[in-house]
Chain A
Amino acid sequence: EPEVTQTPSHQVTQMGQEVILRCVPISNHLYFYWYRQILGQKVEFLVSFYNNEISEKSEIFDDQFSVERPDGSNFTLKIRSTKLEDSAMYFCASQGQAGSSYEQYFGPGTRLTVT
């Protein structure tokens, strides 16, 4: 069964450093998302991406964040200058065709630890 994959599974970085989290969505899906979950808290939406552009973003997704789909398979989240409060689990999700199936399928997550 197709699945969303994410790398790395765990990333440790120092405050102020840039990180890039990578995702490979399910191959025929059209909509891509990033969410995060701070330890012990609820999953929060960051950004959605469709047709090579951001379609929706939350207040969390400020200028420090950016997303890119550099090729036909990868979907990346970049944090330019990490802060301690960026420590969280980051989930990528993908969704197929709008209008027929709204299920969002999540990857296993990348645990980001900022020290």
Chain B
Amino acid sequence: SQQGEEDPQALSIQEGENATMNCSYKTSINNLQWYRQNSGRGLVHLILIRSNEREKHSGRLRVTLDTSKKSSSLLITASRAADTASYFCATDQAGTALIFGKGTTLSVSS
């Protein structure tokens, strides 16, 4: 079954640095979405990239998608302490059930 798997599992950086998280999946997809989750809280939608798109930007976020490699990356530029959270990719084939990865835990220290 299709599955998003993020790496690294954990990432620690200093404020101002860029953070890059990667996601791989197994089968063809329609869309890939990235979510953020602060500890014990809900999932916040960050960005959606469609299978026919290669790159998308939203503020300090940049997402790329390589369907030939079945992978995506999320780049957070100029990170802030408030970016500390877990980040998940989620894929879908037909705009229905999302399949989530295990997530990357990002820690940004000031």
A residues contacting B by CB (< 8 A) are: 31, 33, 35, 41-45, 48, 55-56, 58, 89, 91, 93, 95, 98-99, 102-109, 111
Chain B residues with CB under 8 A of A98: 95
Chain B residues with CB under 8 A of A58: 97
Given A42-B100, A56-B96, verify A91-B43 contact (CB < 8 Å): yes
Asked if residues B42 and A48 are in contact (CB atoms below 8 Å), the reply is no
* Bound CA span A91–B41, Å: 10
Q: Does B88 contact A (CB under 8 A)?
A: yes
Q: What 7 A-B pairs are tightest by C-beta distance, nearest first? A: A108-B42, A106-B43, A43-B100, A45-B97, A102-B95, A102-B31, A42-B102
Complex: chain B residue closest to A101, CB-CB? B48
Interface centre among B48, B88, B100, B101 (most CB of A within 10 A): B100
Seed contacts A102-B92, A106-B44; 18 additional CB < 8 Å A-B pairs? A31-B96, A33-B98, A42-B88, A42-B100, A42-B103, A43-B90, A48-B96, A58-B97, A93-B98, A102-B31, A102-B95, A104-B33, A104-B90, A104-B98, A105-B45, A106-B43, A108-B41, A109-B42
| Distance of B103 from chain A, by nearest CB (Å) | 7
Of the A-B pairs whose beta carbons lie under 8 Å apart in the complex, a sample of 7, sorted by A's number, is A35-B100, A42-B101, A43-B43, A43-B98, A44-B100, A45-B97, A99-B95
Task: Map CB proximity to A onto B48-72 as digits: 1 under 8 Å, 0 otherwise.
Answer: 1000000000000000000000000
Asked if residues A103 and B42 are in contact (CB atoms below 8 Å), the reply is no
Interface centre among B98, B99, B102 (most CB of A within 10 A): B98
Chain A residues with CB under 8 A of B41: 108-109
Count, A-B residue pairs, CB within 8 A = 60
Complex: chain A residue closest to B92, CB-CB? A102
| Distance of A97 from chain B, by nearest CB (Å) | 10
B residues contacting A by CB (< 8 A) are: 30-31, 33, 35, 40-45, 48, 88, 90, 92, 95-103
Complex: chain B residue closest to A31, CB-CB? B96
* Bound CA span A80–B24, Å: 37
Chain B residues with CB under 8 A of A103: 33, 45, 48
